[in-house]
Structure 1
Amino acid sequence: MHILSIVRIVGILVMCFSVAMLAPAFVALIYGDGGGKAFMQSFVISLIVGTTLWWSCHSHKQELRSREGFIIVVAFWVVLGSLASIPFMLFEYPDLTVASSFFEAFSGLTTTGATTIVGLDDLPKAILFYRQLLQWMGGMGIIVLAVAIIPLLGIGGMSLYRAEMSGPMKEQKMRPRIAETAKILWFIYASLTILCALAYYLAGMSPFDAISHSFSTVSIGGFSTHDASIGYFNDSWINLITVVFLWISACNFALHFRAFSEINKGGFFKIYRNDPEFRFFVSIQVILILICSAVMLSHSYFETTWENIEQVIFQSVSISTTTGYTTSDFSAWPSFVPMLLIIASFIGGCAGSVGGGVRVARILVLYLQGKRELKLFVHPNLVYPIKWGKRILDERVIGSIWAFFSAYLLVFIICLLGVIACGVDVFNAFNAVLACINNLGPAMGIVNSNMVEIPDSAKCILTIAMVCGRLEIFTLLALFSPTFWKA
């Protein structure tokens, strides 16, 4: 185990992250409403930590294996989340506890979107921008960004990519070299962000709100610069733009790349049409919207038919993709609708997307496996392989998905019991853990808009749940396996 090489890489990554502190400091300089000093102090502290880690081990440049890649991912997220909490602890307003500061930082980096801050409309622009920036950086995964500069680090990148990316198809590559793949992913990600910001601006948002919300929309994060979230703008065009970009961001980014690479050959729509996960994702979205629309219209919850449908479309997409934007208090809707949407967040986005949850690809494989078991129950000798498009899935892939699903439920139950032990009642504890492990943000009960009423001890558990959800359980659980540490 090349521990010193791992420390060196983490140090370089922390130094790179420290530069991000300068962006909100620049925003504070532009608007002159405070926060600049805290970010400059945070920049210095982060730079010193990163430099110390790197310099103490700068001569160690061994080639890293797969397990070292997993350690780097976990160590970097822990160190990064800890350093990202420093500005929140330095602010006089909002006056956050240490637990709340860590929770807010990890919520941003894991794109969960749960917050412990109220009164967003009165906060300095620098703080608001920083929260959005954390989500944007965490959206695709900072490790994938680091892989793009692997030649500077002197290590192989595939182990990092496997630890960070998600889904049963994560072994597939768009290009032979992982550095090139990471660059392509980030080009798509940055391009979507620019297009989203421009669309928001043309729809009537201020430049600051447009840029800030593009960060949290494309990252499927859900943080907003206003307490009322997207509902603050009360604009149908802004709602539509949000839905479109959430749909795009919840799809596999590798699929976007393949589609655009075929655009000159006339195969753009064919790529999407032939992808089984994309078809399943669209089916889920359509079914959710139809069911929720029928329920809302039957209750005539909003005044007009169009308002009912518009609100349902927005909230269905936002919650089911684990974004967490709101245009109204959806937890006050007829109880069937919010409960259905909360359960749908377990499915989340597609594999290879920035969404949370179990992921559509895994749910599809579990569904196909269930169909096969029913047929085998009737015809025990039937040979019935599970296909992904035209390719037969390896039984090991199917087994690993069942193992992941079991681990997901186990971690959920453990976190649920832990939050209950901290004094939170069962209903609110269930919603809080669900919102964090699915990287969703809002849920029902006392966590329908923020986590202010959750005790600090429970926030510590929920912070762990957010990281588990973001790193997809196994990356963390692997570190607790004795086999992992054997030479």
Structure 2
Amino acid sequence: MVTVEWRRSVALTGTVVKYLTVAMLVPLGVGVVYGEDIGVFLLSMLVTLALGLLLERVGSAGDLGPREALLFVSLSWFLIPLVGTIPYLFGDTGTIAHPVNALFESVSGFTTTGATVMGTISVEQHSHAIMIWRQLTQWLGGMGIIVLMVAIFPEVAVNGAQLIESEAPGPELQRLTPRIAETARLLWLFYLGFTVLYVVLLLALHYGGLAPEMGVYDAVAHAFTTLPTGGFSPEADSIAAFSPAVQWLVIPFMIVAGTNFALFYYLLQREYGSFFENREFQAYIGANVVVTLVLFVLLYLGSAPTLELGGQTQGVLENSLRQAAFQVASLLNSTGYATSNFADWGTTAQIVLLFAMFIGGSAGSTGGGVKIIRWLVVLKSIRRQLFTTANPNAVKPVRLGGFVIDEEVIKAIYGFTLLYLLLFGLSAVLIALDAGRHPNIELTTLEAVSASVATIGNIGPGFGLLGPFGSYIDFPWTSKLLMSFLMLIGRLEIIPVLVLFTGAFWRR
């Protein structure tokens, strides 16, 4: 007996799609300013609105239970990237005019992965309107479209906790207020506030003469992809196209984006102890500092060649420190920006960066990866296991920040981590095998591994041909579809998607 009221999920998905037309007003406005692709976005808005209304008609109104909430979140996240391809296809320019490439780019945008099928030439082909839409998809996906819906619409807020827990990165939802809709609004207000502050500071650098290349368009475009840890840039050279002053400013904002946004509520309430004494925050900052110092030493001693982008690091204190701090902040929380082609760095430096990719940002942040809090719980539970092995009669709960972690939460974290690593390994093998069927594609083991971790971890760039100034364009279309799926399940933390493929979800 089917127990899932799927029509309710479909109707609400239609509402989400319908209101996506409002977001398209931004690229439409940019198109009007620059006189580009106005018709593309008018037509895209019309098609998107029609599709949303059709889904609302097919579905039926009603409250969502736990299963319907899971189905709604997954349906929305699978359908929204499809809608996101419409401007790319109507624009009919460059590599993203191909349907599979358009889907890959759209999924990468909304999941804030930052992997791209645009090469240097392709980036320069597109209009300001198309490129700002590409940037905006990451900003919408960063804090979460479902979280935004919970914040705005009362009918969604009824089941808001279940919805946010299914969408938000991290093992649990941290309520800031008794009402979940107020929590969602606060999260989005913090997100919006940091975005505006970032734009203001970038423009201050520009008008102060420290960032002559950073105009209003570039400031807004990069704000749309820094706070969501997305990494898309309208510049082919990413952040390397801008001055060192801009690069130093980007670093703290990438770190902020990887911080649990709920912690900023404590700062607002002047509860500074709750912010700075948070164990996950301490571990997150500590990981950034330690990995940066290790990479800094390697670069200073000569683990990177002198390149056109990035310049010399060997023996150059400021540049070594800036390159190390930037790349660690970018890859540890899955932003994916670059100031140098780290794909050409020494093997040891690349291994350090690969390690950073697996760490991830904080729960409740816009960062990807496994998440710091999960590694903390795993390490503490291993320590507990070693202790109880030596002391069989001892009862030793796992504690984090003075609180006892429930055993069911520990099991869930172990389950997620194991499944994450399993899917990562299996996908790396499949990507390598798929590339092996095409004689014109030469893919190394490191490139296959980095392609898998960069997509399921929503990181974006990898190594070799997938480097920060590279592209995924040469992969077979089958691998691109696989990696698109990895980006989606990585953004939704695997379980809410895979549970839909079980019989237990659909039947009593």
Q: TM-score, normalised by structure 1?
A: 0.95
Distance in 1 (CA, whole Å) between partners of 2:352 and 2:258 is 19
Amino acid at match of 2:216: P
Residues 1:229 and 2:238 are matched in the alignment: yes
Equivalent AA in structure 2 for residue 427 of structure 1: L
Q: Could you tell me which residue of structure 1 aligns to residue 484 of structure 2?
A: 463
CA contact (8 A) 1:67 1:484 kept: yes
- What is the deviation of 1:481? 2.0
Residue 461 of structure 2 corresponds to which residue in structure 1? 442
Question: Residues 370 and 417 of structure 2 are in contact (CA less than 8 Å); yes or no, is this contact kept in structure 1?
Answer: yes
Higher mean C-alpha deviation, range 130-139 or range 311-320: 311-320
| Alpha-carbon distance in structure 2 between the residues aligned to 1:256 and 1:157 | 21
Residue 309 of structure 1 is matched in structure 2 by 321
Distance 2:369 2:319 in 1: 28
**Does residue 248 of the first structure (1) align with residue 256 of the second (2)?**
yes
SS at match of 1:365: helix
Q: What CA deviation, in whole Å up to 9, does each residue of 1:142-164 have, x standing for no partner?
A: 01001112315584322211211
Corresponding letter in the other structure for 2:103: F
The secondary structure found in structure 2 opposite 1:240 is helix
1:212 corresponding residue in structure 2: 221
Of 371, 381, 405, the residue aligned with 1:393 is 405
Q: What is the alpha-carbon distance in structure 2 between the residues aligned to residue 31 and residue 62 of structure 1?
A: 44
Which aligned segments of 4 or more residues in structure 1 are displaced greater than 6 angstroms? none
CA contact (8 A) 2:169 2:491 kept: no
Name structure 1 gaps, 5 residues minimum: none
TM-score by length of 2: 0.91
- Tell me if structure 2 keeps the 8 A contact 1:70–1:160: yes
| Superposition deviation, residue 342 in structure 1 | 1.9
Q: Does 1:414 align with 2:416?
A: no
* Corresponding residue number in structure 2 for 1:239: 247
For residues 376-416 of structure 1, the C-alpha deviation after alignment (integer angstroms, 9 at most, x for no partner) is 23222222211121111111111110000111122212322
Paired residue for 2:115?
114
Question: What secondary structure is seen at the aligned counterpart in 2 of 1:440?
Answer: coil
The offset of 1:260, in angstroms, is 1.6
Alignment identity in percent? 33
TM-superposed CA distance for 1:47, in Å, is: 0.6
The equivalent residue for 1:277 is 280
Amino acid of the residue matched to residue 283 of structure 1?
Answer: G
Whole-Å separation in 1 of the counterparts to 2:266 and 2:21: 34
1:84 is aligned to 2:92? no
The corresponding residue for 2:307 is none
Which residue of the partner structure matches residue 309 of structure 2?
A: none
When structure 1 is superposed on structure 2, of 376-385 and 305-314 the one drifting more is 376-385
Whole-Å Cα distance in 2 between the matches of residues 373 and 423 of structure 1?
A: 42
Query: Structure 2: how far apart are the matches of 1:108 and 1:410?
Result: 25
- The answer to whether the aligner puts 1:47 opposite 2:59 as a matched pair is no
Letter in 1 for 2:109: G
The letter of the residue matching 1:212 is A
Residue in structure 1 matched with residue 292 of structure 2 by the alignment: 289
Would you say the 8 A contact 1:219–1:249 is kept in 2?
yes
Structure 2 residue aligned with 1:357 = 369
Alpha-carbon distance in 2 for matches of 1:181, 1:199:
27
Q: Report 1:320-339 matches (<5 A).
A: 320-339=332-351
The Cα shift of 1:91 comes to 2.2
* CA displacement at 1:62 relative to structure 2: 2.2
Q: Which residue of 1 aligns with 2:439?
A: none
Deviation at 1:26, TM superposition (A): 1.5
Question: Equivalent residue for 2:99?
Answer: 98
Question: Hey, what does 1:260 align to over in structure 2?
Answer: 268
Mean Cα displacement is larger for which, 276-285 or 114-123?
114-123
1:4 corresponds in structure 2 to: 7
CA contact (8 A) 1:315 1:326 kept: yes
CA RMSD of aligned residues (A): 1.5
CA contact (8 A) 2:303 2:345 kept: no
By how many angstroms is 1:122 displaced?
Answer: 4.2
Report the alpha carbon displacement of residue 300 of structure 1 after superposing the two structures with TM: 6.8
Q: Which moved more, 1:440-449 or 1:373-382?
A: 373-382
**Counterparts of 1:147 and 1:153, CA distance in 2:** 5
Which whole-Å deviations, capped at 9, do the CAs of 1:93-125 have from their partners, x for residues lacking one? Answer: 214321110000000000000111123244211
Q: Which amino acid aligns with 2:99?
A: V
* Alpha-carbon separation, structure 2, partners of 1:438 and 1:154: 29
**Could you say if the C-alpha distance between residues 92 and 168 of structure 1 is closer, same or farther in structure 2, counting changes exceeding 3 Å?**
closer
Tell me the distance in 1 between the aligned counterparts of 2:89 and 2:176: 41
Distance in 1, matches of 2:136 and 2:167, equals: 19
The answer to whether structure 1 residue 428 and structure 2 residue 444 are counterparts is no
